[in-house]
Chains A and B, each alone.
Chain A
Amino acid sequence: QKEVEQNSGPLSVPEGAIASLNCTYSDRGSQSFFWYRQYSGKSPELIMFIYSNGDKEDGRFTAQLNKASQYVSLLIRDSQPSDSATYLCAAHLSGNTPLVFGKGTRLSVIA
């Protein structure tokens, strides 16, 4: 079964630190990868996407993709209490299948 795996957490980091969230996927043919942020009681919100190996930066967020090792990560620099949320990793696996979501990692940024 094609899967996307995340550590459920909680991951606790102090304010101002770098938060590192990781995701692995089982299908080597996966092509596109997404990070969503979900605040408690709210819907998932797209924050980053990455298609190619390497790093992609957007403000305080950096997505990293390593297709050889089949992992994708999200780095949040200068973490703020407002970053406290659940982060969902998602991937378009090979074949004509819907986006597959991980179960999410809960991040807590401590002031």
Chain B
Amino acid sequence: NAGVTQTPKFQVLKTGQSMTLQCAQDMNHNSMYWYRQDPGMGLRLIYYSASEGTTDKGEVPNGYNVSRLNKREFSLRLESAAPSQTSVYFCATEQGARGQPQHFGDGTRLSIL
């Protein structure tokens, strides 16, 4: 049981390049989330998908797009990467019923030069 799988684990980009971070889950959860985590800033929600076919902006959506491809997969795209997007990105899933916890993938460490 893999849980929440993120790919790639590490990536280095040049400013202006594009990149898609992938997240797949086998937990049959309805809701999926993308966070970024920077030192001293905690987890900041970028986008989320409460259910298949829906997406919503979180706290810091600028510079990102998302696609909920199906119930299992939720991707995060950087169209034109900027150094300010250097961060650790986490995908998380949640069953969707009120009061349930989120479960996290191992993260993607992204550096933009």
Residues of chain A having any CB pair with chain B under 8 Å: 8, 31-32, 34, 42-46, 49, 51, 88, 90, 92, 96, 98-99, 101-104
Contact = CB atoms under 8 A, between A and B. Distances in A.
B104 A45 contact: yes
Contacts of B106: 42-43
Contact of A103 (B42, B45, B58): B42
What class of interface size applies to chain B in its complex with A?
A: 20 to 34
Nearest to A48: B101
B18 interface: no
Contact of A46 (B33, B103, B105): B103
B12 interface: no
B53 interface: no
A46 B99 contact: no
Given A32-B100, A45-B104, A102-B42, 16 more contacts: A31-B98, A32-B98, A32-B99, A42-B106, A43-B104, A43-B105, A43-B106, A43-B107, A44-B43, A44-B104, A46-B101, A51-B99, A90-B101, A98-B48, A99-B94, A103-B41
